[in-house]
Structure 1
């Protein structure tokens, strides 16, 4: 069930679930959208969506897990395959805009030593909100498709990792399982993107407990980027 002022009841977030149902391959594990009903009451618009039941439930009640979720090797294999399949989907939907990177990254990463690049090495299609409250287990399911679209490559893996930083064991496990996405130029840039976003959202009071770990991780990633630049120059 979603609600919006009627004059804003349109666009990417409003149509995302239906677009996902029509455009995403069946290989991406997600609950099917069975029915949608929309109505208005005065100046308010409402939208009710009926999905298939998700087996097992979400892995965390919040985006930031309190403990490391226990997941089988097959779950991680499925997630890697799903993200790979999703990245190749052609769409005109946008999850992250270049204008946002140009504006936010210099502001929220100003504590780093040196000018931060804002141009992504590559772009691909992403879920756009991949965190532990949008993932199901022990059978893999990916939920909440309102904001999917193009983003810097590696964005989903970087976002899941950033939300895991409060629990070092969880973050380390994500880095191991999604190393092919994170341990690259694109992956490191994507980490800086999502750290910028989460530092901005922390100013509004969201997941404030992550801020020290986010800043620390930004420093680690930046050191790796600058070291690689020196090595290759």
Structure 2
């Protein structure tokens, strides 16, 4: 029996049956998905195809789709100077119950495997050329122009959200107003980049965000490995030294230290130490 994933409630595609969805994608894109390559995540499923491309299928509740749509991967195809998989095409449809939409994007295959999980527990071996490619891509991205607004975790990022997140966890007399907004990937972690050849993928949530969001997000994903976190801060030091970068550091720390903090999360202590230091710097500026 095939379980329905059209319900308007939250589901986990790692455990739900998605056979009918994948059959529809194959028919629409006129491609065959290779069963032994399927990768299942909470709200997306990906697989290699018989024409050496990759298809990523995402399920999203209608109320999680903003006025700008949810064609981030398609829109990212026009960005210059960024190392990412080439986009080929897509199919989008609305489920019969009207509460859910599905989207399948076909891109070229990644040049390597993902560096790791979203949060790493041990340091990856990354050549200097990899870090250079990361810096080149992030700097090129920040120099682009877009009307899109970033939606990290499918939530539109706003000044109000930033202030609420920071104030909900940290006290102190400092201004939380962001000065500069630039295009950001908005889901930068070790699961969305490849190695040993660098490529940045999963562009669903990109758009304008406070300067330093991507750098702070990658740093937060590295905190369980102190040397790696230090390397991220070194490579992206111009972001971290900026006032907005300090605010973004507090923003990502608030997610680690907030109401959903896990008592055994190895990132708790380094996040707390860094947050305390950043607050002192903001108060002194």
The residue aligned with 1:217 is 274
For the structure 1 residues 167 and 7, does the alpha-carbon distance in structure 2 shift closer, same or farther, using more than 3 Å as the test? closer
- Aligned 8 A contact 2:174 2:282 in 1: no
The 3-state SS of whatever aligns with 2:113 is: coil
- Can you list the C-alpha shifts for 1:184-225, whole angstroms capped at 9, x where unaligned? 32322221122224444x6186x9443333222211222333
Q: How do 1:1-233 residues align onto structure 2 when only pairs under 5 Å count?
A: 1-5=57-61, 11-12=67-68, 14-22=70-78, 24-25=79-80, 27-43=81-97, 44-60=100-116, 62-95=117-150, 96-110=157-171, 114-200=172-258, 203=260, 208-226=265-283, 228-229=284-285
Q: CA deviation at 1:158?
A: 1.1
Q: CA deviation at 1:142?
A: 0.5
The 3-state SS of whatever aligns with 2:145 is: coil
- Can you list the C-alpha shifts for 1:160-188, whole angstroms capped at 9, x where unaligned? 11111111111111112222221232322
- Aligned 8 A contact 1:106 1:116 in 2: no
- Can you list the C-alpha shifts for 1:125-167, whole angstroms capped at 9, x where unaligned? 1111111111111111011111111111111111111111111
Q: Which segments of structure 1 move beyond 3 Å, counting only runs of 4 or more?
A: 5-13, 197-200
Return the index of the structure with the highest Cα Rg: 2
Alignment gaps of 5+ in structure 1: none
- Aligned 8 A contact 1:58 1:133 in 2: yes
Q: CA deviation at 1:52?
A: 0.8
| Bigger proportion of residues as helix | 1
Q: CA deviation at 1:47?
A: 1.4
For the structure 1 residues 82 and 8, does the alpha-carbon distance in structure 2 shift closer, same or farther, using more than 3 Å as the test? closer
What TM-score comes out, normalization by structure 1 length? Answer: 0.85
How many aligned positions are there?
221
RMSD (Å) for aligned C-alpha atoms = 2.3
For the structure 1 residues 219 and 18, does the alpha-carbon distance in structure 2 shift closer, same or farther, using more than 3 Å as the test? same
Q: CA deviation at 1:104?
A: 1.8
- Aligned 8 A contact 2:255 2:261 in 1: no
